[in-house]
């Protein structure tokens, strides 16, 4: 039974394609925007299978939304769309090697509490530096304090 119908603003069935997806995720469907976001690194490394698997997977999400409204992301409606309309297996995840797309080396900053040292991401470090956040150790509950030594002081200075 159809719950509601959604039509893109321009009445087109062709979604917007963007290449903003990062990390281990191959693609995502943004239902209200009628947009599919694709991971450009995984696309470049797995072009044929990416196009054969990921694009239909995400497009099926949009079509199901157009026909049924909000339903379970990989529920029976989506599975039927994949199997009977797309003529593809209804697989929820991809099997691409994500080593290159997810191993970007992020700068880490060393902080310390009473019981151990912690590695904070640049985002958390910047929030601390700007006075917008404090971080606590999950074990001892102490507020984390930055460790500044000769090897890390350049990182702290360049991040300000």
Q: What is the Cα–Cα distance from 160 to 146, expressed in whole angstroms? A: 14
45 is catalytic: no
**pTM of this structure:** 0.59
Per-residue pLDDT tens digits for 33-88: 999 999 888 888 888 888 899 999 999 999 999 999 999 999 999 999 999 999 99
Q: What does 20-72 look like in DSSP terms, one character per residue?
A: ---TT--EEEETTTTEEEE-HHHHHHTHHHHHHHHHHHHHHHHHHHHHHSS--
- Set out the domains of the chain in order of their start, with CATH numbers: 1-104 (3.30.2010), 108-146 (no CATH)
pLDDT for residue 153: 43
Residue in 58, 77, 83, 157 annotated catalytic: 58
Mean pLDDT of all residues belonging to the chain: 82
Helix (H) or strand (E) holding 145, with range, is strand 145-146
Please, are residues 111 and 146 in contact by the beta-carbon 8 Å criterion?
Answer: yes
Per-residue pLDDT tens digits for 130-147: 999 999 998 899 999 998
């Amino acid at each position: 039974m159809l719950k509601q119908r959604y039509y893109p603003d321009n009445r087109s069935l062709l979604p917007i394609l963007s290449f903003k997806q990062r990390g281990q995720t191959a693609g995502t469907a943004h239902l209200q925007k009628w947009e599919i976001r694709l991971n450009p690194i995984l696309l470049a490394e797995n072009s044929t299978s990416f196009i054969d698997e990921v694009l239909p997977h995400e497009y099926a999400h949009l079509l199901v939304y157009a026909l049924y409204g909000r339903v379970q992301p990989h529920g029976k409606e989506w599975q039927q769309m994949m199997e009977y309309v797309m003529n593809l297996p209804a697989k929820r995840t991809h099997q691409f090697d994500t080593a290159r797309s997810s191993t970007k080396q992020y700068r880490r900053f060393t902080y310390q509490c009473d019981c151990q040292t912690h590695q904070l991401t640049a985002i958390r470090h910047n929030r601390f530096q700007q006075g917008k956040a404090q971080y606590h150790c999950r074990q001892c509950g102490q507020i984390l304090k930055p460790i500044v030594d000769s090897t890390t002081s350049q990182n702290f200075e360049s991040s300000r």
